[in-house]
Structures are given as C-alpha cells and as structure tokens.
Amino acid sequence: MTPVRIVFCTIDSADAARKLARSLVQDRLAACVNIIENVTSVYKWEGRIEEDAELLLVIKTQDSRLQELMDRISEIHPYDVPEILSWPVQKGSRAYLDWVVAETG
C-alpha cells in the first residue's frame, strides 16, 4: 500500500472544473487533477431519474491531505451533494508516487 489516493469528483461545467482543479493544486491538496469531459451521469435525485452531462475530475493526493481536500471540494463545489469518492493506490511508479507525496506535502 502507498500513501497516495485517487479521488473522483463530477462537476457540471468546464469553468467550475478548472477553478476547482486549480484551487486544489495551488493549495497543495492535489498534485494533479485530470479533467475528463463528456461524461453522462444517470442518477436518482429527489425521487426523479436524472441524466446530465458532467465532467469527471480524477484527483491525485496523499492520505494525510484527504480530509482537507474533501472539505475544500465541499466548500467550492456548486452541487448541494458533490460526489467525492476516494480509493487507495496499492502500487504505482515509485517516481510518480514520490512526486505526488512531495507536491502535496
């Protein structure tokens, strides 16, 4: 196991995605944020089936910064209930993992 985490977060616009990504990287809560466009989300909200175009953020951080990162996303994110899901990275390129830790330290 490594100290690196991958966090997924969906968002509604490219501008909001860039704003959130830049804030996380600038404040060293994330080493890198990939913004993936053209994601379709189908979900149930307030009793209705919804279908929306979204963007997916793939955020790289370390475990010790995870709670602060989640708090920041909740502060900035335009949704009432933003999707914030985290997975531990079991293995990866040692150089990349070291870089993530250094950038979020």
The 10s digit of each residue's pLDDT in 55-104 is 999 999 999 999 999 999 999 999 999 999 999 999 999 999 999 999 99
Report the number of distinct structural domains present in the chain. 1
Distance, in Å, from the CA atom of 77 to the CA atom of 44, rounded to the nearest integer, reads 19
Q: Return the CATH number at 26.
A: 3.30.70.120
Domain extent for 50? 4-103
Burial (Cβ within 10 Å: 0-12, 13-18, ≥19) of residue 3: middle
103 bridge partner residues: none
pLDDT of residue 102: 98
Question: How do residues 31-53 score in pLDDT, each as one tens digit?
Answer: 999 999 999 999 999 999 999 99
**Cα–Cα nearest to 78, from 64, 48, 58, 57:** 57
